[in-house]
Amino acid sequence: MITAQNVFIGFGKAAKTLAGALANRGESVIMIEASDKMYGGTCINVACIPTKTLLTSSQNNRLGDAQENYFNAIMNKNDVTGTLRYSNLHKLSDQATVTVLNGWAEFEAPKQLKVTYQNGKTDQISGDRIFINTGSTPIIPEITGLKDSIFMQTSETLMDQKRLPQKLVIIGGGYIGLEFASIYANFGSQVTIIDANDQFMPRDERELAVAVQRDLAAKGVQFELKAQVTKVVDQVGAARIEFERAGQAQQITADTILVATGRKANIAHLGLKNAGIATNQRGIIVDDHLRTNVKNIWAMGDVRGGAQFTYLSLDDYRIVLDQLVGDGKRTVLEQELVPHVVFLNTPIATIGINEEQAQKEQIAYKVGKLATKAVPKAHVLGNTTGYLKVLVSPETHEILGATLYCIDAQELINVVSLAMHQHLHYEVLRDQIYAHPTMTEAFNDLFATIK
């Protein structure tokens, strides 16, 4: 039996950060990670970091042979993820009180785990505290022929395919599907998105959805919306994807199918029942402090069934650390107002409410809007696509929400988020002295449009 004060299942964002913090305080830590390709978790190995690395490469390598550019981009992506994986592992494993185990963990009892290593050997582990951070895994919908198709990829496997797809069909038009559409269209694949929703980008305002669909279409991305995939049939060199729209049967061929229909919490084969840990459809049930129903067992990150973002998993670490060494006041309620970003050639960043929501919910607002082409730095960067829009309260002068569809929106949104959390009047951003030329200085003009 190997014992430690703190046992972590899964090397995700919350786990690695909390493990490091507890080890720094001299506490003993066991970190159990199922795959030696996943030290550091999903984000750095198969999700956020590789997709953004590929997006950057796809924007830079426009000349020359498309297949060669793509191959080089995959190699570069592998270098980036390999470097981060190594540094993430050693940041923990180099600490005197930390033991990293490479194996599959499952509960045998509330305080007892079994780890099964790749060679089939096992160890029993016990800990005073146990933290579950096992993340999520792609959902493969029940479509005849899909699971067994040799052309099927998930977001985790496509980025290991060294051959550039000629024809890529993406099932699912959520943020992951859109990011892959942008990347692969840049590299030169013929991309088609098939999505069952009635509306494109249903959670966003129509003005944004229309602009984004138009801009992706200008890059060659095709859309089959309100379409339900019914069957996948493997043929020589390509798959036939059959779908139905408004009762009409249609089909398309592709040499690569990316399934981007969401991710589910990783709770299978964890032995949660042996420990009496309660779950629901979404994942492990936790309270506002991320405690499961079993004393001294916490669940953090995607596995607890909330919104799936690395920065929320990171915040989960803060909530738990605050209980262990602070005043325990921090809760998940503080995660309600956070930015959301979709990393396209022109990124989309939103926070708070949009204009359609304000109208629907009859919230009083004033609106400010600026075309990206009015921002000098956008010309410097060579991308004047999109617009910036903010809603403010006429009563409190605080910002109610922002929709930024412009180059560097992923950076700008953090400034808006800070202002919202600090309850700043919008005039503070309007009258701030910003460095020039920057995208942030657009806030001078954007907030000045509010009358």
Ligand X SMILES: Cc1cc2nc3c(=O)[nH]c(=O)nc-3n(C[C@H](O)[C@H](O)[C@H](O)COP(=O)(O)OP(=O)(O)OC[C@H]3O[C@@H](n4cnc5c(N)ncnc54)[C@H](O)[C@@H]3O)c2cc1C
Tokens of 40: 């550091």
CB of 244 to ligand X, least distance (A): 27
Compare residues 183 and 450 and give the one whose CB is closer to ligand X. Answer: 183
**403: contact with ligand X by CB under 6 A:** no
* 84-113 footprint of ligand X as x/- string (CB under 6 A): --------------------xx--------
* 49-88 footprint of ligand X as x/- string (CB under 6 A): --x-------------------------------------
Tokens of 425: 């009047």
Instruction: Tell me the sheet residues that pair with 130.
Output: 7, 297
CB of 14 to ligand X, least distance (A): 5
Compare residues 42 and 256 and give the one whose CB is closer to ligand X. Answer: 42
111: nearest Cα among 320, 303, 297, 323 = 297
Judge contact between 374 and 445, C-beta under 8 A.
Answer: yes
CB of 12 to ligand X, least distance (A): 2
Residue 230 C-beta-side C-alpha neighbours within 13 Å: 11
Per-residue buried b or exposed e for 217-254, using 16+ beta carbons within 10 Å of the residue's own CB: eeeebebbeebebebbeeeeebbbbbbeeeeeeeebeb
Compare residues 12 and 173 and give the one whose CB is closer to ligand X. Answer: 12
Q: Which of 90, 269, 421, 436 is catalytic?
A: 436
Compare residues 302 and 355 and give the one whose CB is closer to ligand X. Answer: 302
Strands 190-195 and 239-245, by their bridges, are unpaired
**Does the annotation mark 421 as catalytic?**
no
258: nearest Cα among 174, 157, 166 = 157
8: nearest Cα among 89, 18, 110, 26 = 18
Give 83's contacts (C-beta < 8 A, 6+ positions apart). Answer: none
**311: contact with ligand X by CB under 6 A:** yes
Binding residue for ligand X (CB under 6 A) from 224, 302, 315, 355? 302
Q: What is the CA radius of gyration of the chain?
A: 23
**309: contact with ligand X by CB under 6 A:** yes
Q: State phi, psi for 450 to the nearest 5 degrees.
A: -80, 120
CB of 314 to ligand X, least distance (A): 8
Q: How many residues bind ligand X (CB under 6 A)?
A: 35
Compare residues 278 and 364 and give the one whose CB is closer to ligand X. Answer: 278
Compare residues 134 and 385 and give the one whose CB is closer to ligand X. Answer: 134
Instruction: Tell me the sheet residues that pair with 360.
Output: none
Residues 11-50 interacting with ligand X (rule: CB under 6 A): 11-14, 32-35, 38, 41-43, 47-48
Of 214-222, 303-311, 353-361, 367-375, which segment contacts ligand X by CB under 6 A? Answer: 303-311
* 116-155 footprint of ligand X as x/- string (CB under 6 A): -----------------xxx-------------------x
DSSP-derived 3-state class of residue 118:
coil
Of 4-12, 22-30, 64-72, 368-376, which segment contacts ligand X by CB under 6 A? Answer: 4-12
Q: What are the CA-CA distances from residue 54 to residues 61, 74, 160, 226 (Å)? A: 10, 7, 11, 29
* 255-294 footprint of ligand X as x/- string (CB under 6 A): -----------x---x------------------------
CB of 171 to ligand X, least distance (A): 14
Cis amide prior to 50 (ω within 30 degrees): no
DSSP-derived 3-state class of residue 132:
strand
Strands 263-265 and 136-138, by their bridges, are antiparallel
- Binding stretches for ligand X (CB under 6 A): 9-14, 32-35, 38, 41-43, 47-48, 51, 104-105, 133-135, 155, 176, 266, 270, 301-303, 308-311, 313, 343
Annotated catalytic residues are 436
